[in-house]
Structure 1
C-alpha cells in the first residue's frame, strides 16, 4: 500500500475530541432512533442469527457434560429403582404365597365344619403335625390324642375323602396310617354298581385286587367305603378308577385307582367315630361224640 499518496486526513485521522464527539452523536442518534422507530431491531435479529452457530459451538461442551451427568445419574437411579422393585416384588410374592396358603387352609376348615355339621357323631377336627419317620411307611401325626378321646381304629378323612385310620394313640397326639400304606386295606364298593371289593395300599398308591373278569367296572368310577368291616362308615369317597386292564389270560381284572383325599398334602383332618355294628353271635359249641362200648361211634353219628 502506498502511504505516500494517501491523504493526510485518513493517515492521521481527526483529533481525539472530534472522534469522541462523533461517537457520542452517533450513539445518541442510534439510541433515539432505536427507542422510537426500532431502527436496530432488524440489525440485532440479523446479528443474532449470524452469531447463533458460534453460540451453539461455545455452549456445546457444557451441554455435552450436562447430558453425560444426567445420563449417569439416570442410570444410577434406575439401578436403585430396579433393586427396590425387585425386593418389593419378592416381598409381594411371599405375601401372596402366604395368603394363598391361608385361603386354602380356610377353605379346608370350612369344608371340614360342613362335613362335621352333617354328621351325628362327635367328629374331631385335628391338624397334621408331621409325617412318620419311617420312609417306607405312610403315616402322619395329628395334634389330638387320648385327651380328645380318640381311639385306635377310628377313620380319618379330609374334605375330599378317606385318608386312613388311627393306629396308635398317645396322650396328646395320634398316629394315622394312610390308605396308601402297604399294610392298609379298606372294604369298598363301586358307587355306580354297588359291587364290593377290597382296596389295597401298595406304598404310595391304592389299587383294587381280585376283581373277576366279568366285573362291570369302568374308568372314572368312584370307589366308596362299603361299611362292611364295622370301622369305616358307608359311603365315604375313597378313590377314582383311572385304568381297567382286562387280560384274557389272567384270572382277575387289574384296576388302577387314584386316591381322592390329599394323602400327601392335607393340613386339617377329621377323625370320625368308628361305625357301631352289632356283635357277631357266638357259635354253638360242638356236640360231644357218643361212643359205644367198643369205642366206635354209634350208627346215628356215622
Structure 2
C-alpha cells in the first residue's frame, strides 16, 4: 500500500450513516405527524384533489372493459326478459280476445233471455281510479290508504279491485283519502262462488297473519279441490258478481270435524298494489228493502189475547 494513502479519507463504500433503527423511528414519526396534520387540518387535501383529477382518465380507461362486460350481460339479459314478457303478453292477449268474444256473445244472449222472461236489466257498476299512498299504521290489521275520498265520490262499503281481482272494501272515508280493508284482514268476509261447481260460501281473512283467506263452514264432503277459482257471488248487494277473489291452495278434511279447513290465495295483489279501482256499491242501485210489519196479537174470544 502506498504511504501517501494513509492520511486520506476512506472511500464512500465504508462511510457509516444513520442506523436502520434511527431511520425507522424518524420516518414513523414523520408518518404519524402527517396523518395527524391531515386529519386535523387537511393539509394533503389539495394534493389529493390534484392527483384524483390527474388519475381519473387512467381509472376511467381501466374500468372500461368491466363496464362493457356488465353492459353486454345486462343488455342480453334484458333482451331475453323483454322477449319472454312479450310472448307471455301476446298469449294473454289472445286468451283475452277469445274471452272477450265469448263475453259479448253471452251478454247478448243474456239480455235476450232477460227480455224474453221480462226480467230487469243487470246492475252496472262504475269506478274511480285511485293510487295507493301507504299501508295503515296498525300492524295488526291489513289496511291501506288511497288518494280518493268524499270529494271524489267514494262511499263507505265500496269494493276495491286491481287488474287481477278483488282487493278489499272501503271502511273509512275522509275528505281527501280513504281507508281500505283488504280481504286478508281477519275482520273481513266476502261471499264467494266456486266457478267450477257453483257452490256458494263465505271467505274470511286468515287470522294467523298469513296473506290468505279461509273458506269456512264448508262440509267435509263438499266438492272442492285445490285449484278451484272463487269469484264474488253478488248476493251481498255490495260486490258485483263474477269478479275473481281467490284460488284454493289447500284443503284439509278430517274425520273428527264437521267442516273442512280450506285455505285460499287472493288473486289480487294485496301486498303490492299501486293503482286500484274503487267501484260503486250495488246497494245504491238496488230497491230499498220492504218494511215488514210486526204480527198483531190475535184476540181471544174469552176476552184475552193470545
TM-score category (smaller protein):
0.5 to 0.7
Q: Over aligned residues, Cα RMSD in angstroms? A: 3.4
Give the match for residue 3 of structure 2.
none
User: Unaligned regions of 5+ residues in structure 1, if any?
Assistant: 1-74
**Closer, same or farther in 2 for the Cα pair 1:243/1:80, shift >3 Å?**
closer
Cα shift at 1:229: 0.8
- 2:172 corresponds to 1:168: yes
Higher mean C-alpha deviation, range 138-147 or range 149-158: 138-147
Give the match for residue 280 of structure 1.
289
Q: Contact 1:219–1:242 at 8 Å: present in 2 too?
A: yes
| Distance in 1 of aligned mates of 2:63 and 2:240 | 62
Deviations 1:267-290 (A, max 9, x none): 100011111333322222221353
TM value normalised by structure 1? 0.60
Cα shift at 1:78: 6.1
Give the match for residue 299 of structure 2.
290
Deviations 1:183-231 (A, max 9, x none): 0000111111111100000243211011012311111100011111111
| Distance in 2 of aligned mates of 1:76 and 1:131 | 45
Q: Contact 1:211–1:252 at 8 Å: present in 2 too?
A: yes
Give the secondary structure class of the aligned counterpart of 1:81.
helix
Give the match for residue 137 of structure 1.
141
**Closer, same or farther in 2 for the Cα pair 1:84/1:162, shift >3 Å?**
same
| Distance in 2 of aligned mates of 1:77 and 1:124 | 52
Give the match for residue 81 of structure 1.
64
| Distance in 2 of aligned mates of 1:162 and 1:77 | 52
Equivalent residues in 2 for 1:4-19 (5 A)?
none
Equivalent residues in 2 for 1:23-62 (5 A)?
none
**Closer, same or farther in 2 for the Cα pair 1:83/1:233, shift >3 Å?**
same
User: Unaligned regions of 5+ residues in structure 2, if any?
Assistant: 1-57, 90-95, 101-106, 108-122
Give the match for residue 7 of structure 1.
none
Of the three residues 116, 122, 126, the one matched with 1:122 is: 126
Structure with higher Rg: it is: 1
